Amino acid sequence: MAKNPTLGQRALMEAIGVFLFVFVGAGSVIAAHAISPTSVSLVIIALGNGLGLALGISVALNTSGGHLNPSVTIAAWVTKMISGRDAIVYIIAQVVGAIIAGLFVVALYPPALGAVANYGTPTLGANTSVFQGIVFEAVMTFFLVFVIFGTIVDKRAPKLGGLLAGLTVVADVAAGGPFTGAAMNPARAIGPALASGFLANWYVYWIGPIIGAILAAWIYKYIALRH
């Protein structure tokens, strides 16, 4: 009979899952710049981030729940699905996994290509204000967390691993990528940012996703999950 995973085991899986997601997601941004430096291919970036998240969630799902996102963990905490202690440990693990992934990206990709793409760090578009960026990130994260609650958290839903969450990221990147980088995840933003030193507007990618995630979690729990 399998034992329940310890908090340390769950945290390790969160770190590994985030490492996979951030490495693939940031790498896809650099690859897109390398292939098409004048008009970056949104398809490559959207698929890279979406598939990276889908795989990361699927890997960690049975052990840690596959949060892979401080916003998701905070949403789970405010809806009393995870304890405060566990939430803090999860978020630390997620950020550490993201930073390690960022360091790998900086070390492995050619500086000439990596620097042009800020090593995959999400950035605000030239005509996007900080306020617009926060709202964009909140809305996109709302969609993501609503889908996660509907397809992973809700016990009534068919289990498809992280596939539908990944597809939501693909859609969000297609819609918002040129304007904010469509992070929807503080760890996805802060890992490459700290590794590369590109920290412009870093707080946008914490404020927006956390607001969007909490709203999505509350609405889903108190409306869709209410019997």
Inter-axis angle of helices 204-219 and 70-78, nearest 10: 40
pLDDT at 136 over 80: yes
In the chain, pLDDT over 90 holds for what percent of residues? 84
pLDDT, average across residues 180-201 = 97
pLDDT of residue 5: 93
Give per-residue pLDDT as tens, 98-131.
Answer: 999 999 999 999 999 999 999 999 999 999 999 9
10: Cβ contacts below 8 Å, ≥ 6 apart: 63, 64, 65, 86, 90
Give per-residue pLDDT as tens, 11-70.
Answer: 999 999 999 999 999 999 999 988 876 666 889 999 999 999 999 999 999 999 999 999
**What fold, for 7-224?**
Glycerol uptake facilitator protein (1.20.1080)
Q: Taking a C-beta distance cutoff of 8 angstroms, is the pair 188, 165 a contact? A: no
- Whose CA is closest to 53, among 176, 187, 154? 187
Tokens of 222: 């108190």
Residue position matching structure tokens 């995959």: 120
User: Domains of the chain: which residue ranges?
Assistant: 7-224
Query: DSSP labels for 2-50?
Result: PPPPPHHHHHHHHHHHHHHHHHHHHHHHHHHHHH-SSS--HHHHHHHHH
pTM of the model: 0.94
